Amino acid sequence: MRERCQHSIRVGAATAATLAWVGTHDESLAAAEPAEATRRRSDWLATRERILTAARDCFTERGYHATSTKELAAAADIAEVSLFRHFPTKAAIFEAAAVEPINDFLRSWIAAWTETPVGARDPEAEGVRFYTTLMELLSRERRLLAVFLATISDVTIEPAISTESRAVMAELLDRLETVFRREGRRRGYRTNPHITPRLVIAMALGMAVHGDWLFGAGHTPKPRQLVNEMNRFTNWGLPGGPPSPDHASARSGG
């Protein structure tokens, strides 16, 4: 067994459930002298960060099921009992290490993208910006994202993971749907504003996570090519652009 997992990435934020657990298991820090309490708190937070860093590495490398709490403790260089002083379950570790960071970067991305005033968007230019920023985010977290998607779709895992993740994703997609609905009304789109943004996100997720499988290893198009094709498909469907003058004339019988 490897004691250190590779591919270290940034530590995620705590979830509300984990913070509640922390609050019920941290009375000893409050009872200590101020200087001692500060030192112990600093040590406690440093240990917690080591756990989360190790967890993100190990979950990315091995997946949720194949990673044990014993392995997580070894990768963080602590005793397993110490790990459970910080997190009550493996699911809580996964939530803090993998789910919350992904939810956070998606929240930030949608918040930034929805700041543009309604009606101020050029569809094609905005589509390029939309897909470019989304693909950059998804590709940066590609391996962890693959574990995240596999884990939340697994009904055998503690319900708290998939319920929490789906709730956050639903909230984000609802915000995106609002933008699509407003833009659609203004521009006369006939697509379903509830379904379309979810298809758009699914297309980007598929490209970011499964590009090598879809195109074959070493044959995945460059990011700019993918962005341009997804943008054309989103704005124009299979034709990929407005009809040429000759084609438009032929269709009208001219």
- Residue 210, pLDDT > 80, answer yes
Q: Which residue has the higher pLDDT, 55 or 187?
A: 55
Q: Class of the 16-90 domain?
A: mainly alpha
Helices (H), 63-158: 69-76, 80-86, 90-94, 100-113, 123-140, 142-152
What pLDDT is attached to residue 253?
54
- Residue 13, pLDDT > 50, answer no
- In the chain, where are the structural domains located? 16-90, 98-237
For the whole model, what pTM was predicted? 0.67
- Residue 44, pLDDT > 60, answer yes
- Residue 250, pLDDT > 70, answer no
If you count them, how many residues does the chain have? 254
* Confidence band for 23, pLDDT divided at 50, 70 and 90: low
The mean pLDDT value for 49-65 works out to 90
- Residue 61, pLDDT > 90, answer no
CATH fold for the domain made of 98-237: Tetracycline Repressor; domain 2 (1.10.357)
- Residue 228, pLDDT > 90, answer yes
What pLDDT is attached to residue 133?
85
Angle (CA) 123-202-65 rounded to 5° is 150
Pair of tokens at residue 148: 């995240």
